[in-house]
Structures are given as structure tokens and as C-alpha cells.
């Protein structure tokens, strides 16, 4: 398929295209570490049971244990917002000389109220500070996570992403990006955002989009290919995709998991998806970040919601850091050294 050719041409160790409108040209995303391509990554969140952002944080010992576990399988991680845990994660990677690199993000929201504006300002300032403090670890700085797609619960205007991207890009040396759903990157309003970025982070979940399991990665690849055609000359990486292992089928309102998810949701289904995922990335070498490393029980409403709510169950490790049977199968097939 065409996306395979694009992947082979565009995504070697260094991703770069010319950009007449960006000061200094489009900056490359360097995906080489110790002579190896690290484009197969994972979303990293070190919160265990009883912990959550802005509440009870993980300890350094817990973060380090998670980093050491993750580094057996991935050298590229994605971090989402400027919490103390994010900075400690970067500091531990540096202190322990772990063979890992990170894409870090500012979690922005609507910029209307004074509280929203203060939160966004803190995130943007923090993004700049950490990118400059950890240039040896931070590969790229991302502004926003699903913040412009029409269904976002914290939607901000694309013009805000443009404004912040210009500010961050003027203040850091790394490439600057923004992460959003495929259903934003296929809209005309996304063009102005893409024009300000060094590359695009693209999300696509076959499960959330009512797709059958057997065609999950083919559907994802087709959406990726559409985005490449829609934004010619702008590199695109897949920043979120995955398959959950539990969900709540009683949540049947439009947009909820019981309404959207038509395929099997189970450990066996995750194994089938992961096999598709790993084979596709190996063949096409499109940088792809799996969502996610660990189940997170603080998500989806935390303790006040049922334990099987889908947002708690995207990890390939459970909340106790045990590899699910789905990932055990992947380890046997794709990590033959038995890490």
C-alpha cells in the first residue's frame, strides 16, 4: 500500500522535510539511539493503584522500577503533561543513564476563563523549561493532546495551538508538534496547525471507531495514509493506538464504550491487535507509539466507577506490572532474547 512506501521513504532514523514557512526550516525528529531505530514506542504513565496526577504521586523508586521494566521493550516513551512525575521521570532517565528518549507534552484546554488560562500558561512554560533542561532526553515538545478534535471534552481553538506552537518553537531547539485524533487531522481547520509544526502526532483507535478486530491495523494504516495525503510534506507519526482488554458494555450512550466498541474486548483480542501492530511497524517503519504500557485504575472516574471501565484497561501490563498474556505472546515472538 502507499503508506508503506511513505513510511520507508520518510521514517528512517531522522525524520525531516523542507518547510518554507517555519523559521530555520522543519526540524528533524531523531529516532536513532546507539545506532538503532527507536520508532516503536509506548505511552508511559507511572501511576499505580491509589496514585493519580495532582493527588498522590508515584515515588522515585516506583518510577525507576517502571522505567527499567519499560526499557526492556521500548526506548521511546511519550509523556503527556507537566506534572512533577514527568520531571522526575526525565531526571531518573538521566541519572541512571537509561537508554531511553521521550516526547513530552503540554496538556492544554479551552483558554477562556482565568483558571484555564493560568493552567495553560503553566503547561506551556513547563514544556519550554523541561525541553531546555533535558535536551539529551527530550526529542520533541508536543502542545495539546486531542485538544482540537470536535468531540474533545476540553477543546481549544486551533488558533491557540498555532499561537503556542510559535512560542514554544522560538524557545526550544527540539522539533515542536501537536497530538490529535485522525478526525481532526482530516479537517481543513487542521491545515493552519500543521503548517506551524515540525511533525504531526496522529491518533487512531480502530476499537473506538467500531472497526472489526481482524482489520484493525489495516484501518489504522488507511487513516494514516489519508492524513499523509491531506498534509503533504509534513511528517506524521502515530502517537496513540492500541486495544483494551476490558470495557463496560452497559455504557451505551453515543460516544460511550458500549455504543462505539463493536469488536471483542479481551486479552485475546489485544494479543491479535498487538501482533498486527508489531508486524506493521516492523514492515513500514512508521514511528508508532502504543497506548499504553500499564493499566491505570485512576482513569475513567477512578474509584467511583466500576473497575472494568475501558479507560483503565489499555495497558499491556496490568496495574501490578505483570505482563498480560497478550504481551507475553508478543515478547515470545518479537523479543526472542527473552527480555
Q: Cβ(140)–Cβ(198) under 8 Å?
A: yes
Mean pLDDT (whole number) for 324-338: 91
Number of domains composing the chain? 1
Q: Which DSSP category does 324 fall into? A: P
Structural domain contains residue 136: yes
Residues 163 and 220: their CA atoms lie apart, in Å, by 30
Mean pLDDT (whole number) for 2-20: 44
pLDDT score, position 10: 44
Structural domain contains residue 10: yes
Alpha helices in 84-215 (DSSP H): 84-95, 114-133, 158-171, 182-185, 190-194
Among 240, 309, 205, 208, smallest CA distance to 43 is for 240
Structural domain contains residue 313: yes
Mean pLDDT (whole number) for 161-182: 98
Let me know if 179 is exposed, middle or buried by CB neighbors in 10 A (0-12, 13-18, 19+): buried
pLDDT score, position 14: 52
Q: Is the dihedral of CA 196, 104, 124, 201 positive or negative?
A: positive
Whether the per-residue pLDDT at 19 is higher than 70: the answer is no
pLDDT score, position 21: 79
Binned at pLDDT 50, 70 and 90, residue 9 comes out as: very low
Tally the residues of the chain: 339
Q: Cβ(140)–Cβ(176) under 8 Å?
A: yes
pLDDT score, position 20: 55
Structural domain contains residue 339: no
pLDDT in tens, 178-233: 999 999 999 999 999 999 999 999 999 999 999 999 999 999 999 999 999 999 99
> For the domain that residue 249 is a member of, what is the CATH number?
3.20.20.80
Structural domain contains residue 80: yes
pLDDT score, position 337: 76
Structural domain contains residue 149: yes
Task: Name the percent of the chain lying above pLDDT 90.
Answer: 90
Centroid of chain to Cα 146: 10
Binned at pLDDT 50, 70 and 90, residue 336 comes out as: confident
Mean pLDDT over each residue of the chain, to the nearest integer: 93
Number of H helices, E strands in the chain: 11, 12
pLDDT in tens, 223-265: 999 999 999 999 999 999 999 999 999 999 999 999 999 999 9
Give the residue numbers spanning the domain of 242: 2-334
Structural domain contains residue 77: yes
DSSP secondary structure string for all residues of 10-78: H-SSEE----TTSTTSPPPEE-EETTEE--EEEE-----TT--TTSSPPPHHHHHHHHHHHTTT-SEEE
Mean pLDDT (whole number) for 85-114: 97
Lowest mean pLDDT among 1-10, 170-179, 305-314: 1-10
Let me know if 208 is exposed, middle or buried by CB neighbors in 10 A (0-12, 13-18, 19+): middle
pLDDT score, position 8: 35
Residues 335 and 339: their CA atoms lie apart, in Å, by 7
Amino acid at each position: 500500500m502507499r503508506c508503506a512506501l511513505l513510511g520507508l521513504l520518510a521514517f528512517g532514523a531522522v525524520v525531516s522535510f523542507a518547510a518554507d514557512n517555519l523559521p530555520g526550516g522543519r526540524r528533524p525528529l531523531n529516532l536513532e539511539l546507539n545506532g538503532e531505530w527507536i520508532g516503536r514506542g509506548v505511552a508511559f504513565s507511572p501511576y499505580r493503584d491509589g496514585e493519580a496526577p495532582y493527588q498522590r504521586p508515584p515515588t522515585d523508586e516506583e518510577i525507576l522500577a517502571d522505567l527499567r521494566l519499560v526499557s526492556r521493550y521500548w526506548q521511546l516513551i511519550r509523556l503527556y503533561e507537566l506534572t512533577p512525575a514527568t520531571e522526575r521521570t526525565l531526571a531518573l532517565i538521566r541519572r541512571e543513564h537509561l537508554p531511553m528518549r521521550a516526547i513530552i507534552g503540554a496538556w492544554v484546554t479551552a483558554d477562556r476563563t482565568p483558571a484555564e488560562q493560568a493552567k495553560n500558561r503553566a503547561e506551556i512554560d513547563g514544556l519550554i523549561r523541561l525541553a531546555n533542561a533535558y535536551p539529551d532526553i527530550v526529542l520533541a515538545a508536543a502542545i495539546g493532546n486531542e485538544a482540537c478534535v470536535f468531540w474533545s471534552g476540553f477543546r481549544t481553538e486551533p488558533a491557540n495551538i498555532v499561537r503556542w506552537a510559535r512560542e514554544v518553537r522560538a524557545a526550544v531547539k527540539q522539533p515542536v508538534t501537536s497530538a490529535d485524533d485522525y478526525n481532526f487531522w482530516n479537517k481543513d481547520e487542521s491545515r493552519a496547525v500543521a503548517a506551524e509544526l515540525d511533525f504531526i502526532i496522529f491518533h487512531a483507535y480502530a476499537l473506538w471507531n467500531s472497526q472489526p478486530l481482524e482489520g484493525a491495523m489495516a484501518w489504522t494504516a488507511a487513516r494514516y495514509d489519508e492524513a499523509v495525503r491531506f498534509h503533504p510534506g509534513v511528517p506524521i507519526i502515530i502517537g496513540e493506538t492500541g486495544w483494551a482488554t476490558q470495557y463496560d458494555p452497559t455504557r451505551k450512550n453515543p460516544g460511550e464504550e458500549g455504543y462505539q466498541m463493536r469488536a471483542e474486548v479481551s486479552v485475546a483480542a489485544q494479543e491479535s491487535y498487538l501482533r498486527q501492530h508489531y508486524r506493521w511497524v516492523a514492515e513500514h517503519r512508521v514511528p508508532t507509539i502504543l497506548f499504553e504500557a500499564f493499566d491505570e485504575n485512576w482513569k475513567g472516574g477512578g474509584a467511583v466507577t466500576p473497575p472494568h471501565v475501558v479507560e483503565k484497561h489499555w495497558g499491556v501490563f496490568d496495574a501490578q506490572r505483570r505482563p498480560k498474556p497478550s504481551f507475553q505472546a508478543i515478547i515470545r515472538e518479537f523479543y526472542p532474547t527473552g527480555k
